[in-house]
Structure 1
């Protein structure tokens, strides 16, 4: 009986990890600092994914882009696109982002209504110069463990090393390991 209950708990936790984020860690979410004086309007527009933590929802994805625009209601509309490196098929998903508080405009929650499990996920901008790079962080706290996701975004498909190094500096400042990052393939991308 105890084994069956523990098995159900393990399956539930695994499901949460898969749906919410992809890299599990013991303990609570780390304390990270979002960008002070973040300007959402300057952040809007098209970004190319340069690097990311592994995420099931991006498995085999290449040519990944994210486009952010301001919707009529004041919410941020999100359009994420990618191509499967396995099948060559394009896919996209639309979402909505909302600023959590006026005191910290760099903290948003995002939601993708078409997903089978509907939830608000944290989406925090840790650093950006708006013209070249952005570092985005997400962490979900489940008490004894947390799940993390992180992205380095760029305005160009192939950012220069000095631009990526600025993103790495923001990661280091926040104690975020680069060990889990995977470089996103942006070659031969008809979507872009």
Structure 2
């Protein structure tokens, strides 16, 4: 029985990092997400704490579309501790009729699982709010991100994201600002972590 608990923690911990008592809350997603408009480079402005991003700065996510409807994902960051740039590649697929509810997989991870990647809100040109929640019955693990098209977004852009977060009753208490200072664009790498 202990190995089941450990497996749940590993899977839940990898998918989302903040544990909560109870199941996943109901949230609203973008109606009819236009994947083509969503593609491209996004800068991480804020996030819930995630172990896999510990010490990461200059975090970006780049999305590319494939003919089969799959979305390629490349997440990059620089370690604020060592200065080493790293990246991880994965893909997202649509598993339901709701285009905003994607399932994200990183094949190089030691444990393979589909992590929820739900787009709660976006205007495609300045911000996106992304949600992930894995339900384990008596508890759930949650993560959230605010992505922006600019490394240094205007306060008005972040306010739009906060409105969506508040509307969905997602706690802002767990958000941490991502360090986007002193980020050399050429520091990006194809190294898989």
Q: Tell me the TM-score normalized by structure 2.
A: 0.92
- Asked if 2 retains the 8 angstrom alpha-carbon contact of 1:135 and 1:151, the reply is yes
- In the alignment, does 2:23 pair up with 1:28? yes
* CA 121–55 in structure 1, closer or farther in 2 if over 3 Å, else same: same
In structure 2, how many angstroms separate the alpha carbons of the residues matched to 1:10 and 1:62? Answer: 32
2:162 is matched with: 168
- In the alignment, does 2:61 pair up with 1:61? no
**Cα deviations by residue, 1:143-172 (Å, 9 ceiling, x for unpaired):** 110000100000000101110000000000
Which runs of no fewer than 5 residues in structure 2 stay unpaired? 187-193
**Cα deviations by residue, 1:112-170 (Å, 9 ceiling, x for unpaired):** 00111011111000000000000000000001100001000000001011100000000
In structure 2, how many angstroms separate the alpha carbons of the residues matched to 1:13 and 1:99? Answer: 24
2:190 is matched with: none
In structure 2, how many angstroms separate the alpha carbons of the residues matched to 1:158 and 1:125? Answer: 21
Bigger drift between 17-26 and 159-168 goes to 17-26
> How many pairs align?
186
Which one of the candidate residues 144, 151, 154 is aligned to 2:145?
A: 151
1:100 is matched with: 95
Q: Tell me the TM-score normalized by structure 1.
A: 0.92
Runs of 4+ in 1 over 6 A off after TM superposition: none
- 1:65-144 aligned within 5 A: 65-101=60-96, 103-144=97-138
Which runs of no fewer than 5 residues in structure 1 stay unpaired? none
